[in-house]
Amino acid sequence: MQQTKLKNKQGIQSSFAYTLLRNDLLPELLGKEEETILYWAGKHLARKHPLSSTEEICDFFQKAAWGSLSVIQEKTNKRVFELIPTLPTPTHYKLEAGFLAEQYETMTDCVTETLEQVKRKRVLFTVESNAKETAQ
């Protein structure tokens, strides 16, 4: 089994633990509600770690070892991001999508939703804010 190595403040770590939790344990524990719960969990993480710019969000993804996040399209109420994951690809990225949705909902004060599209070795996130509906 090939293991990707990550380097962070604590030193070099194996991706085995992350992969074990993300791909084996969480689906078993959360069952059919896994994607919904992880989207909510991402929103919760964003509330605990509020950021104020796209650059800070991209830095957070790198520090969290979620991967390299970059903006590929930006309009008034819509942003498209590309994520090159650091670790082996899970089947979905709802945690990251929820995180993005909540960060932009907080920054724009508009209801925001993020959709994901998993490609081969990258993920596209479309973040859309509804300017007609303010966040509560």
pTM of the model: 0.86
Structure tokens at 11: 């030193």
DSSP state of 32: G
Give the pLDDT confidence score for residue 2 in this predicted structure: 42
What are the tens digits of pLDDT across the range 10-24?
444 567 887 888 888
Tell me, what's the pLDDT at 1? 38
How many angstroms separate the CA atoms of 67 and 83, rounded?
6
User: Which parts of the chain sit beneath pLDDT 70?
Assistant: 1-14, 89, 136
Residues 6+ apart with CB under 8 A from 54: 71, 74, 79
Top-level class of domain 35-134: alpha beta
